[in-house]
Amino acid sequence: MNLIENYSLKNHNTFGVDVKAKYFVEINSENEIHEFFRLPISRDESLLILGSGSNILFTHDYDGVVLKYSKKGLRIITETENEVTLEADAGELWDDLVEYAVKNKYYGIENLTLIPGTVGAAPIQNIGAYGVELKDVLYSVEYYDINDKQIQTLSNSECRFGYRDSIFKSELKGKFLITKIAIKFSKEKKLNLSYKSLKDELAKYPEEGISIDLVRQSVKKIRENKLPDPKLLGNAGSFFKNPEMDFRLFDLFIKKFPEAIYFKQETNYKISAGWLIEQCGFKGKRIGNVSSYEKQALIIVNHGNATGAEIKDYADRIVQEVKNKFDIELSYEVNII
């Protein structure tokens, strides 16, 4: 464990915003977690736990401690003929876990290919893509309780997963450090090909020829074609959530905007936030060093020297214009500090 003062976070956030933390500490074991939380600084300073910085926007320097938990490791904890439960430490990169699962023919997260971030961040957001969410396969989450100074475990149902939501964003906010998760995979061939863009990409292949490897490669192709590489163009992926509507409100909305893009769910509808933003003229629109991405309006990009405040101002403009045109309030998916 190494505590550093006045530490630049530019390489620890995918927007590439140049801000500093008053203190930065990287922890590589559970013993070091206990050691850190015995230090007076853990009580005297505000604390921000950071993964790979792929879902965060810093609008100013952080006046406190930024803690990064970097422990990596993958372990099989139970295995039967049809299922395997795998434990992954929080410091693992999410896509490395997906690659491992696909290589070993463990079915369940191949649709979540190329989602940036760490394993530890995945349950907080209940990450999802192409018809699959983490809640569909997650078995449990282990975390350090900052108040009780103990390791706790939550089952899937106890995580209270919702759309890009979990107990970690509400009741446990600011009170936890995720140390590991467990995922239950199927060893039998089970592929979710329900999402339109993925289904279209795979339509040229015979159904029996679609493998878990092909699904991963197809998702990679789709994502790389429409999403900017943060190493080349700073961004945090989808900046906004797709707004949800009950059936009554949706009927009124779709009569007024019949060309809208939407997704029907069991209990409501999701409206495409990207479509809403594009209709307001923001797709590819650049203001200073910030723009909405030219291939996907849902993504805000830093063209090199934008401050976090400039990016936030641009996002606020989008929210206001969407509200004015559609009377819909967009919510941020990115965590703004």
Give the integer Cα–Cα distance in Å for 84 and 314: 45
Residues 207 and 109 in one domain: yes
Residues 217 and 242 in one domain: no
Picking from 226, 245, 274, the residue at the C-terminal end of a domain is: 226
Q: Is the pLDDT of residue 328 over 90?
A: yes
Q: What is the pLDDT of residue 156?
A: 96
Residues 216 and 299 in one domain: no
Each residue's pLDDT tens digit, 73-97: 999 999 999 999 999 999 999 999 9
Question: Minimal CA–CA distance to 34: which of 181, 149, 127?
Answer: 149
Residue 140 CA to its chain's centroid (Å): 18
Q: Nearest 5°: phi and psi at 281?
A: 85, 15
Each residue's pLDDT tens digit, 301-315: 999 889 999 999 999
Q: What is the pLDDT of residue 150?
A: 93
- Give Dmax (Cα) for the chain: 62
Residues 162 and 44 in one domain: no
Question: Minimal CA–CA distance to 158: which of 148, 179, 143, 177?
Answer: 143
CATH number of the domain to which 244 belongs? 3.90.78.10
Residues 60 and 190 in one domain: no
Residues 93 and 146 in one domain: yes
**How far are the Cα atoms of 130, 204, 247, 263, 326 from residue 267, in angstroms, in the given order?**
19, 32, 8, 11, 22
171 given a catalytic annotation: no
Mean pLDDT, the chain, rounded, equals 93
Pairing label, strands 299-302, 290-292: antiparallel
Q: What is the pLDDT of residue 216?
A: 97
What does the buried/exposed string (b/e) look like for 274-297 if buried means 16 or more CB atoms within 10 Å of the residue's CB? bbbbbbbebbebeeebbbbbeebb
Residue 5's CB is within 10 A of a number of other CB atoms, namely 9
Residues 263 and 149 in one domain: no
Which of 140, 238, 291, 292 does the annotation list as catalytic?
Answer: 238
Residues 18 and 131 in one domain: no
Which of 26, 142, 164, 292 does the annotation list as catalytic?
Answer: 164
333 given a catalytic annotation: yes
- 272 and 260 Cβ atoms separated by less than 8 Å: yes
Q: What is the pLDDT of residue 219?
A: 95
CATH number of the domain to which 118 belongs? 3.30.465.10
Each residue's pLDDT tens digit, 150-181: 999 999 999 999 888 899 999 999 899 999 99
Q: What is the pLDDT of residue 107?
A: 97
Residues 238 and 290 in one domain: yes
Residues 133 and 201 in one domain: yes
Local confidence band at 1 (pLDDT 50, 70, 90 cut-offs): confident
Residues 53 and 79 in one domain: no
Query: What residue numbers bound the domain in which 26 lies?
Result: 2-69
Each residue's pLDDT tens digit, 254-276: 999 999 999 888 789 999 999 99
Picking from 38, 53, 69, the residue at the C-terminal end of a domain is: 69
Residues 97 and 199 in one domain: yes
Q: What is the pLDDT of residue 304?
A: 85
CATH number of the domain to which 59 belongs? 3.30.43.10
Which of 87, 133, 142, 333 does the annotation list as catalytic?
Answer: 333
Three-state secondary structure call for residue 218: helix
- 203 and 223 Cβ atoms separated by less than 8 Å: no
| Number of separate domains in the chain | 3
Each residue's pLDDT tens digit, 6-36: 999 999 999 999 999 999 999 999 999 999 9
> Please, which residues have CB within 8 angstroms of residue 87's CB and are 6 or more apart in sequence?
73, 74, 75, 76, 77, 180, 181, 182
272 given a catalytic annotation: no
